[in-house]
Amino acid sequence: MLSLSEKLLFLVLTAASLAYAFIGFQNVYRVIARGSGERPSAETLRRRAREALITWVTTRPIWKARPATSLFHGLIAWGFMFYFLVNFGDLLEGFFPIAFLGKGWLGGFYRFLADLFSAGVLVGMIYFLARRFLFRSPALRYRENIRLLPAVQEGAIARDSLIVGLFILFHVGFRLLAASFAVAAEGGDWGQPFAHLLSLAWQGWSEGALTAGHRFGWWGALGLILLFVPYFPYTKHFHLVMAGVNYLTKPQRTSLGALDPIDFEDETVESFGVARIEELPWTHLVDAYACIMCNRCQDVCPAYATGKELSPAALEVNKRLYLNAHLEELAAGQSSEFSLLDFAISESAVWACTACGACVEICPVGNEPMFDILYLRRHQVLMESQFPRQLQNAFRGMERNGNPWNQSAAERLAWAEGLNVPTIDENPEPEILWWVGCAPAYDPRARETARALAQVLQAAGVNFAVLGEQESCTGDAARRAGNEYLFYEMALANIETLNAVQPKRIVTTCPHCLHTLGKEYPQYGGHYEVIHHTQLLSELAAAGKIQVQANGSTDTITFHDPCYLGRHNGIVAPPRQVLQELGLQVVEMPRHGAHSFCCGAGGAQMWKEEEHGDEAVNVHRYREAESTGAGTLAVGCPFCLTMLTDASRKTDNALAVKDIAELVAERLS
């Protein structure tokens, strides 16, 4: 137990530490509070608290990748969670002559866990320090063409990592040291195996020396906390707390990539989108502090993987360091000196994003860098009229003719010539309304998919109809390209059409239409049951309504999961069930399902030139499909069909690229 003077000194140091820490935490809160967006209600927080706590405690999202590194991170995370109790117990033991939780089985179990977690934290921290400073893991680096603040280039991340790492090592090391002196004084305790082994070094020491050693360890462990707490809100270690905030407060989206709408009827709004850091939604300011700087989002980003200037990890790092450098001014309500395009991300990087959502799906702390980029696009398009010139034709086509191909609406049903496909006027009460989509209506290659699906639906006796000339683009490309107002107008017009039809069920050929109709139109009052054509085909096959026969092919097939099917909407099993019903042998690519790699067409990339890089995204994905040894690459999206077919022409045409509907049609009895 501490002497009276030591207790007074500790209380004074605690008061000073908390006072300085309060200033930092208060400034962080004020900066985050400046962000836009609604705050969750108390009822919402109460409802989500249990799930958020489970996610935080289990570190569940981190296990999606890097299993070995995730294990070592788990050792540190779980150890630090338990250390909230350990530090509290040590504090009580220092001030009062007690054994925390007693000397019975409960106290013994607590001390065993404290000993175990101490060793785990030390092992985990040594691993991460060695990974960064000794082995210099490539996963923690950025390419030279990535925009980084000067502070990053001057070693700010490495310096912060070293400070945090040494704090953890010494804090936990001092605590284990103190425990070992206590164990030595008691003559040993195998209930604390690591402290016991360390205590063997103090055999033969006098009682006074052991007491002094214990006191030294106690002050080292808890004194370091007092030194570190004021620095805590400025460090990467802050993610320990802010990750939990993210889990608790992150907006509940209808799907992973559903964007928030803009209220164009609100006349008080003078600017749309985001230009400066304080204009971001407040949850995206939390993202900057929650970021663990692990670069997992960078690993899965198709733009980064193919040499473009985009790194979602660098975006979050730049945000954090800029906030730290200007925390007091921003907390006081001042405007940031620079726009995000001046320091956080380059314009080329903004337009390189495919909006695939991989960075959002993989992030272990719930960050959403993709949305920052799409909000920046909104500002560039709506306020600055600054966007890739190739998008102008797509915008004009959607405005004038209802499709980004800028072809006449009168040609929308040309693909169905000779197939007797019924329109909604001819069959006003269908069981299925087929939303064909722009690509199957106008793109020559995608038209083959539409014709194949029509043949399958007719063979299965499905009561369906199409809108024909009444159908218009859903506006997905406009929205992902930042032209939110064009999307808004198209959404309202389509909702009016659909509400007049009152479809029982909508099936789409395109995952982007599926996503927009089913997950984003509800924002404007359009509520419909929407399924993908692979889901419908799976249902029909399971019900025995599709009769197929082998066509003699022995080729294996690999399936490319479209981003807006597998990752954004969680539809992974139905396409594979259809392929299994066809009796085909399916071999998976290394990246598949929710972790699939983008084809390169999303985020309006279909309508513009790809940013400069080492390789085209579609070629990168096609080579991965080739590596499986399959003879056919199956897809479930007209954009994927186009992109991967183009990639096959640029390489060696080794793989035939076909939509699942085409594979079914080829095998109809």
Domain encompassing residue 315: 277-382
End-to-end CA distance of the chain: 86
Nearest to 525 by CA among 553, 574, 491, 563: 491
Radius of gyration for the chain, computed over Cα atoms and rounded to the nearest angstrom: 29
User: Where among 358, 382, 406 does a domain terminate?
Assistant: 382
Pick from 282, 280, 317: nearest CA to 296: 317
Q: What is the pLDDT of residues 128-184, one digit of tens each?
A: 999 999 999 999 999 999 999 999 989 999 999 999 999 999 999 999 999 999 999
pLDDT greater than 90 at residue 389 = yes
Same domain for 363 and 242? no
Q: Are residues 483 and 630 in the same domain?
A: yes
* 618 within 8 A of 646, measured Cβ to Cβ: yes
557-559 and 632-635 as β-strands: parallel, antiparallel, unpaired? parallel
pTM of this structure = 0.94
SS3 543: coil
Q: Which amino acid is at 524?
A: Y
Residue linked to tokens 């935490």? 25
How high is the pLDDT of residue 85?
97
User: What single letter denotes the amino acid at residue 15?
Assistant: A
pLDDT tens profile 238-247: 999 999 999 9
| Residue 165 to residue 145: CA distance in whole angstroms | 29
**Tokens 């010539």 belong to residue:** 417
pLDDT at 328 over 70: yes
Asked whether residue 258 is domain-assigned, the answer is no
CA 408/CA 392 separation, integer angstroms = 17
Q: Is residue 268 domain-resident?
A: no
- Identify whether residues 378 and 407 lie together within a single domain: no
400 & 456 share domain: yes
- CATH code where residue 365 lies: 1.10.1060.10
Q: Residue 87 pLDDT > 90, yes or no?
A: yes
| Alpha-helical regions (H) of 476-610 | 476-480, 484-501, 511-515, 533-542, 573-581
**Domain shared by 422 and 363, yes or no:** no
Q: Residue 505: exposed, middle, or buried by beta-carbon count in 10 A (0-12, 13-18, 19+)?
A: middle
The answer to whether position 426 is within a domain reads yes
Torsion sign across C-alpha atoms 483, 356, 254, 566: positive
**Given the DSSP bridges, would you call strands 632-635 and 656-659 parallel, antiparallel or unpaired?**
parallel
What is the per-residue pLDDT for 553?
Answer: 64
Compute the half-sphere exposure of residue 197: CA atoms within 13 Å on the CB side of its CA. Answer: 5
**pLDDT for res 10:** 95
Note whether 303 and 442 are same-domain residues. no
359 and 216, same structural domain?
Answer: no
Q: What is the DSSP letter of 655?
A: S
> What pLDDT, on the 0 to 100 scale, is given for residue 1?
78
> C-alpha 633: how far from its chain's center?
27
How far CA 47 is from CA of 37, 57, 248, 350, 545, in Å, comes to 20, 17, 9, 35, 43
Mean predicted lDDT score pLDDT of the chain: 96
The answer to whether 570 touches 594, Cβ cutoff 8 Å, is: yes
Q: Which residues, 6+ apart, have CB-to-CB distance to 606 below 8 Å?
A: 404, 477, 639, 642, 643
Q: What is the pLDDT of residue 551?
A: 67
Q: Are 312 and 297 in contact (CB under 8 A)?
A: yes
By three-state DSSP, how is residue 78 classified? Answer: helix
The yes-or-no verdict on residue 222 having pLDDT over 70 is yes
Last residue of some domain: 353, 382, 411? 382
Distances 206 to 3, 158, 181, 187, 213 between C-alpha atoms, Å? 20, 42, 11, 12, 11
Phi, psi (deg, nearest 5) at residue 155? 95, 20
- Specify the amino acid at residue 279: E
Q: Which of 249, 265, 295 is a domain's end point?
A: 249
Share of the chain above pLDDT 90, in %: 94
Q: In angstroms, what CA-CA distances link 233 with 10, 23, 289, 629?
A: 22, 10, 8, 50
pLDDT tens string 565-619 = 999 999 999 999 999 999 999 999 999 999 999 999 999 999 999 999 999 999 9
Please give the tally of structural domains in the chain. Answer: 3
Mean per-residue pLDDT for 483-508? 98
* 376 and 400 both lie in a single domain: no
Is the residue at 148 inside a domain? no
Find the mean pLDDT for residues 514-526: 97
What six digits make up the tokens of 651?
A: 């390489």
CATH number at residue 20: 1.20.950
CA distance 276 to 244: 26
Q: With b meaning 16 or more CB within 10 Å and e meaning fewer, what string describes 176-204?
A: bbbbbbbbbbeeebeebebbbebbeebee
Q: Does the pLDDT value for residue 34 go beyond 70? A: yes
Enumerate residues 6+ apart whose C-beta is below 8 A from 104: none
**Does residue 257 form part of some domain?**
no
pLDDT of residue 242: 96
Q: Which residues contact 266 (CB under 8 A, 6 or more apart)?
A: none
* Pair 397, 373 in one domain: no
**HSE (CB half, 13 Å, CA atoms) of 660?**
30
pLDDT digits (tens, 9 = 90+) for 425-473: 999 999 999 999 999 999 999 999 999 999 999 999 999 999 999 999 9
Same-domain status, 477 and 620: yes
Q: Which residues of 648-667 are buried (b: 16+ CB within 10 A; e: fewer)?
A: beeeeeebbbbbbbbbbbeb
Q: Give the span between the Cα atoms of 482 and 274, in whole angstroms.
A: 11
Whole-number pLDDT of residue 445: 96
The answer to the question of residue 315 being in a domain is yes
* Residue 653 pLDDT > 80: no
Q: Which tokens is 288 given?
A: 């900057």
- DSSP of 478-509: HHHTT-HHHHHHHHHHHHHHHHHH--S-EEES
Please say if the pLDDT value at position 552 is more than 70: no
Q: How far apart are CA 320 and CA 157, in angstroms?
A: 11
The number of angstroms, rounded, from the C-alpha of 396 to the middle of its chain's C-alpha atoms is 32
Do 288 and 432 sit in the same domain of this protein? no
Q: Same domain for 332 and 196?
A: no
Q: What percent of the chain has pLDDT over 70?
A: 99
37 Cβ partners below 8 Å, 6+ apart?
Answer: 251, 260, 281, 282, 283
Write out pLDDT tens, residues 605-643: 999 999 999 999 999 999 999 999 999 999 999 999 999
